[in-house]
């Protein structure tokens, strides 16, 4: 489920990119929550800084919307679908390590108003993503 203001919206299955981002659409497929995967968070190590996207930023699938920096390296965050950024996880500005604790939950990066929900069909489900990370 996705927390939205003061209530919860039933969410669709998470979908994944080859670059280790995930998106979870709201039940009505108009909004999605974006973050990095457990695999990505583990590869990065201790996250020390998160560059959050700009609110109201119009993006296309694959566009860089922010970055995550760790003691080991830095990595861009790309959006899996086109749309407009409508919220960011401001908690990450003060506590970037939240990504290490819960990258696919409390450590979400941004919420997007989805421009084309059909784009999600081109992303991987969990089983395909797991196979991808084992290659």
Q: 34 phi and psi, to 5 degrees?
A: -120, 145
Helix (H, G, I), strand (E, B) or coil at 62: coil
Cα four-point dihedral sign 70, 100, 81, 119: positive
Strand, coil or helix: what is 132? Answer: helix
pLDDT tens for each residue of 19-42 = 999 999 998 889 999 999 999 999
24-41 CB burial, b ≥16 within 10 A, e <16? bbbeeeebbbbbbbbbbb
Q: How many CA atoms lie within 13 A of 45 on its CB side?
A: 6
pLDDT in tens, 63-93: 999 999 999 899 999 999 999 999 999 999 9
């Amino acid at each position: 489920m996705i927390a939205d203001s003061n209530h919860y919206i039933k969410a669709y299955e998470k979908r994944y990119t080859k670059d280790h981002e995930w998106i979870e659409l709201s039940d009505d497929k108009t909004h999605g929550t974006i973050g990095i995967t457990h695999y990505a968070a583990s590869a990065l190590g201790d996250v020390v800084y998160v560059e959050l996207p700009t609110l109201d930023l119009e993006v296309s699938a694959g566009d860089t919307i922010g970055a995550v920096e760790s003691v080991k390296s830095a990595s861009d965050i790309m959006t899996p679908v086109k749309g407009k950024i409508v919220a960011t996880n401001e908690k990450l500005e003060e506590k970037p390590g939240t990504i290490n604790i819960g990258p696919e939950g409390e450590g979400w990066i941004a919420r997007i108003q989805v421009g084309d929900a059909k784009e999600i069909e081109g992303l991987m489900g969990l089983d395909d993503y797991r196979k991808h990370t084992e290659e």
